Amino acid sequence: MKTWNCMTGPVFLFAMLMLLPAHAQNYPNRPARVIVPLAAGGGMDTVTRGLAQKLGDTFGQTFVVDNRPGAGSLVGLEILANAAPDGYTLMMISATTVVHPILYKSRFDILRDFTPVSQVTAQGYVLVVHPTIPAKSAAELVEYARANPGKLNYSSSGIGSPIHMSTELFQIATGTRMIHIPYKGMGAAYVDLLAGRIQLSFATIISSLSHVKAGRLRALAVTPAKRAPALPDVPTLGEAGVPVVVVNWYGLIAPAGTPMAVVDHISGETAKAMQSPDMMKRLVAEGSEAVGSSAQAFAAHIRAEHDLWAKVIKQAGIRGE
């Protein structure tokens, strides 16, 4: 007659199953860190610090923000890939982190080598032009650009940046051809845009809002599927007859192999933090939207982003430098 050993039979299996929620319930029992692959002071850094404070208050442990800029997020990804898969090292990423491994040679695959935790925010862009451009709407800009191929310059914060990719998608959708002028950051790009040396750009709402209100730039359309509360009178690209929807985003990932019970615990508390009234108010003022998705939904989003931008890179013939 076969007998069950308590360490190999149903009792052991039940005990192992019980360990997963227990592990999540004990998390965190020491400080954690969130890597930001950009310098301090930018939009991602600000959002991460706000979320880290919320998570620290909820969990009763410090969540330290660790800025590790360099190589289009690759410096941060190297650190994360070598970290223990225990939930104590996380990283905030954006669409750039998905685009760069496609555009440049990288050993990383975001979905294969890391564990998505939660999409944190979504933020659209606004299509702005210098007032000397005669277009008063996105449709008029398309008509003007088609009549003047290669004569309009547009700025971005670098090759493969979300602004660059958004404009390339716009050109593919509209059959227009404009000249890309990449900058090391949008600060320098704004100098030339306001001077009229650059004619247009897809800009973040928060960075362009004061210029639009002062008449230094003209806002033609926003890129999300719905209008931005910060620019309620500016139509979407879809409303203007341009079938393009672009939304940049921030989200948390963890090392591959992080227990799903811990991942789900973090994503659940992230969702609560992002839906808090003060976080939502701050994000709306900046032209962003709080998300706080499940790990599964964020994984699907990353996969869709990868497929979209890989297609744009191939169709537009974009090459990393």
Coil, strand or helix: which one is 114? strand
Same domain, 46 and 195: no
Write out the residue range of the structural domain in which residue 168 sits: 125-222
Quick: pLDDT tens for 226-250: 999 889 999 999 999 999 999 999 9
231 in a structural domain: no
13 in a structural domain: no
Distance CA 141, CA 279 (A): 35
138 in a structural domain: yes
pLDDT exceeds 60 at position 48: yes
Rounded to whole angstroms, what are the CA distances from 1 to 4, 110, 240?
10, 50, 77
Same domain, 217 and 132: yes
Under DSSP, the state recorded for 235 is: P
Distance CA 292, CA 270 (A): 6
The count of structural domains within the chain is 2
Same domain, 94 and 59: yes
**Cβ count within 10 A of residue 111:** 15
- The DSSP H or E segment spanning 129 is strand 125-129
Quick: pLDDT tens for 139-167: 999 999 999 999 999 999 889 989 999 99
pLDDT exceeds 80 at position 6: no
Distance CA 133, CA 178 (A): 14
**What pLDDT is attached to residue 73?**
85
Confidence of residue 320 (pLDDT cuts 50, 70, 90): confident
Q: Which of 295, 213, 195, 221 is nearest to 254 (CA)?
A: 295
Same domain, 51 and 84: yes
Q: Which amino acid is residue 39, in one-letter code?
A: A
240 in a structural domain: no
Cis peptide before 28 (omega within 30 of 0): yes
59 in a structural domain: yes
CATH number at residue 110: 3.40.190.150
14 in a structural domain: no
108 in a structural domain: yes
Same domain, 194 and 257: no
Quick: pLDDT tens for 197-218: 999 999 989 889 999 999 999 9
Under DSSP, the state recorded for 73 is: G
Indicate the pTM of the whole model: 0.86
The residue out of 207, 222, 237 marking a domain boundary is: 222
Residue found by looking up tokens 């650190």 in the block: 79
207 in a structural domain: yes
pLDDT exceeds 70 at position 58: yes
